[in-house]
Structure 1
Amino acid sequence: MSTFIESTDPLAANKATALRFLDLISADDYDALEDLITDDWTMVGGPPRMPRGRDGLAELRRTIGPVEQTWQPELVLAEGDLVAVRAVNSCRMESFFGVPGRGVEQIFTATFVMRIRGDRIAFTWRNADDLGRLLQLGATIKAGA
């Protein structure tokens, strides 16, 4: 896990907020996540038609289901109110997009871009190698007719 450091440097503080988001996801600490997002927080690249704010966070947790995971940040960039984090995830879950997990460890990369408002996350864009995850679980690709 990354270390949460308070800073008077706005970019460093924004980076710490973004890294805290991944730490809390890894820890399955959605109660603390509720305090880290704005009331109108929006996520793109998560479950379809996710509501905003805490309801969206609850939908994310419901959709993901039980999971053991660890996010390991590899690159963190900040510019203004935006922070980009490229990270590697190692996880085990019951299923992913309906494909049984069977205890298989999935390792994949993802990039998050987060808009920070004050000391909270207002917007999260997620782009992850979900196809790679499915293939790790034994899913196959079948060409259409």
Structure 2
Amino acid sequence: MTFVQLIDCKTSNVDRLNRLMDTWVEATQGKRTATHSIVGQDHSDPTHVVEIVEFPSYEEAMRNSNLPETNRIFEELVAACEETPTFTDLDVVRDEQLNKIVVRRFFDEVVNAKNLDLADELCTGNYREHDPALSSDDVDLAQAKRENGEILNAFNPRITLRSLIAEGDLVTCRIDYRGRHTGSYQGMEPTNRDVSGTGHATFRCQGGKIAESWWNWDDLGLLRQLGVVEA
């Protein structure tokens, strides 16, 4: 996020504003440069409505404003308000998705640094982990630490975060890993083979900690690299 525009409105017809937003979204399909829009209603004054629109840059915001569809909807917006809406243009100087911090720490310090005990600090007491690669698709923190510890000791993997997206209390990441099979894994003796693969994980955060996680890995690809399954 680099640029945000705030549109401050005074209206008793919030439903009409929402319909105008729907109309604008439909009319500007394939043309608009806005990437995110939030409409908020003042908790203490229901006639006070603020729209927050995100753009990649100021230039893209101006390009969006110059669309004929935007001008037409703005005229209808003015007609729906008791007062002329005001605009505030903001260059974003800090954009911190706080739940991303704990997820990054989990990968950097728990997984890559193999400090499994730190998970007790980063996760809630009732943490649940869902991973088809484990003995059950629903395990608590203690069992997750034991089973994931076996994986870390067997492969000593290095995980790289390729993308990290946060929305609400969820954080989803795209990851890949590289390692070497130097320890026993699910009854398989070390093969000393290099392994690599990809995966996705989604975390649900609560109170600044990880409360739940879902994991998906290319397990078949891993077994092929170990020579257990033929390609």
Q: Same fold (TM over 0.5)?
A: yes
Distance 1:87 1:60, change over 3 A: same
Higher relative contact order (CA 8 A, sep 6+): 1
Q: Distance in 1 between matches of 2:197 and 2:103?
A: 19
Match of 1:64 among 133, 136, 151: 151
Q: One-letter code of the match for 1:48?
A: S
Unaligned runs of 5+ residues in structure 1 are 1-6
For residues 84-126 of structure 1, the C-alpha deviation after alignment (integer angstroms, 9 at most, x for no partner) is 0110111123244444441111100010000011111000100
The answer to which structure has the higher helix fraction is: 2
Match of 2:229 among 127, 140, 143: 140
How large is the Cα RMSD of the aligned pairs?
Answer: 2.3
Aligned to 2:121: 35
The answer to whether the aligner puts 1:19 opposite 2:104 as a matched pair is yes
**Residue 178 of structure 2: SS of its match in structure 1?**
strand
The answer to whether the aligner puts 1:113 opposite 2:199 as a matched pair is no
Contact 2:128 2:211 in 1 (8 A): yes
Deviation of the 1:65 alpha carbon:
5.7
Distance 1:112 1:37, change over 3 A: same
Q: Distance in 2 between matches of 1:137 and 1:110?
A: 18
- State the aligned residue count: 133
Deviates more, 1:27-36 or 1:93-102: 93-102
The answer to whether the aligner puts 1:47 opposite 2:134 as a matched pair is yes
For residues 31-71 of structure 1, the C-alpha deviation after alignment (integer angstroms, 9 at most, x for no partner) is 21221111111111141235413x12332245426131111
Unaligned runs of 5+ residues in structure 2 are 1-93
Distance 1:65 1:89, change over 3 A: closer
The answer to whether the aligner puts 1:74 opposite 2:162 as a matched pair is yes
Q: One-letter code of the match for 1:22?
A: F
Using the size of structure 2 for normalisation, the TM-score is: 0.52
The answer to which structure has the higher strand fraction is: 1
Contact 2:111 2:152 in 1 (8 A): no
Higher alpha-carbon Rg: 2
